[in-house]
Amino acid sequence: KPTRGRPETNEVVDVVDGIRQKRLGGGEIIVSEVALGLQRWASADFNAPSVEQCHAMLDRAILKSGVNLVDTAEQYPIPSDAKRPEGSSETLVG
């Protein structure tokens, strides 16, 4: 239902692969209800996913499931080291 000519906040506008796409605020931005977190991608953690696994997860989330909310930060990966410094997760994504 529009409110004063604006779309309703949190309106579900689509469902892709079981993931709801909702209106953010009262504007036109549509956000997936599920986010893809990159905190461990490219990290020094012994069980961090490989570059190939990361790309496969990114393709699956975005291309198949409509995820459009990706959590990354300049201090990722955690943990980092000299070989995999902060910012490596963002570099991996592009």
CA trace torsion 49, 55, 59, 65 (10° rounding)? 20
Q: What confidence category does residue 2 fall into, taking pLDDT thresholds of 50, 70 and 90?
A: low
Residue 32 has pLDDT above 80, yes or no: yes
Count the residues in the chain: 94
Q: Rounded distance, CA 31 to CA 16, Å?
A: 12
pLDDT at 1: 52
Phi, psi of 78 (to 5 degrees): -125, 120
pLDDT in tens, 4-24: 666 777 889 999 999 999 998
- The pLDDT tens digits for 36-75 are 999 999 999 999 999 999 999 999 999 999 999 999 988 9
Element (H, E) at 32: strand 30-32
